[in-house]
């Protein structure tokens, strides 16, 4: 199991977690299990998977869905979805809509952690500068200050992916270093 010493990370902190593409899902599940020991409610923003996919994985791995509130940015592209008790749907990675939804969820659900999986997927929608701007808002705006923020970033497999994808990912990592209070490299564990 991947362990985290989240007690040393202060409120309103920003952490980037680097994970390899190989065994990404199993490492995320292990990481989530450790986070649920430290947080009663986690807001989990899904950029890479749908709520249906994640909820199935949670059930298979005995992770308590009720400990999370999900924001699914993919499912509305595939058809109409209605918000549920623990999942909100927004169409695409629209940053203003996402920020509004995050603000509502933090207030309503009292989330102490916002987890973004996989932040690198935002590169499909935005340039690095827009992701920096989004990160700056999350880090400096009082409306988000009660929760810790964690970006999960899947590192591309060097043998498979194009060089341009690796460059974009490396640029994003360098950009996020400017904001991060801590970077956890779980890629080589």
Q: What is the pTM of this model?
A: 0.86
- Kindly indicate the confidence band of residue 188, based on its pLDDT and cuts at 50, 70 and 90: low
Helix 163-177 with 128-140: angle, nearest 10 deg:
30
Per the prediction, the chain carries an average pLDDT of 84
- Kindly indicate the confidence band of residue 3, based on its pLDDT and cuts at 50, 70 and 90: very low
Q: What is the per-residue pLDDT across 138-168, written as a single tens digit (0 to 9) for each?
A: 888 888 888 999 998 888 766 555 666 677 7
Structure tokens at 101: 């939804």
CATH topology assigned to domain 11-185: Rossmann fold (3.40.50)
The pLDDT value recorded for residue 160 is 52
The DSSP letter of residue 46 is: E
The pLDDT value recorded for residue 2 is 42
- Cα–Cα distance, 95 to 16 (Å, whole number): 19
């Amino acid at each position: 199991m991947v362990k985290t010493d989240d007690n040393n990370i202060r409120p309103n902190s920003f952490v980037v977690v680097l994970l390899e593409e190989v065994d990404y899902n199993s490492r995320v599940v292990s990481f989530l299990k450790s986070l649920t020991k430290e947080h009663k409610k986690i807001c989990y923003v899904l950029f890479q998977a749908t709520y249906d996919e994640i909820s199935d994985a949670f059930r298979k791995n005995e992770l308590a869905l009720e400990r999370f509130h999900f924001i699914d940015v993919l499912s509305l592209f595939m058809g109409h979805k209605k918000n549920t008790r623990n999942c909100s749907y927004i169409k695409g990675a629209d940053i203003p809509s996402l920020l509004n939804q995050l603000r509502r969820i933090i207030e309503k659900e009292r989330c102490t952690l916002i987890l973004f999986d996989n932040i690198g997927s935002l590169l499909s929608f935005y340039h690095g500068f827009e992701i920096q701007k989004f990160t700056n808002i999350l880090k400096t705006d009082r409306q988000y200050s009660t929760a810790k923020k964690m970006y999960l970033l899947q590192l591309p497999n060097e043998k498979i992916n194009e060089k341009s994808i690796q460059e974009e990912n490396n640029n994003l990592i360098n950009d996020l270093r400017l904001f991060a209070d801590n970077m956890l490299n779980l890629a080589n564990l």
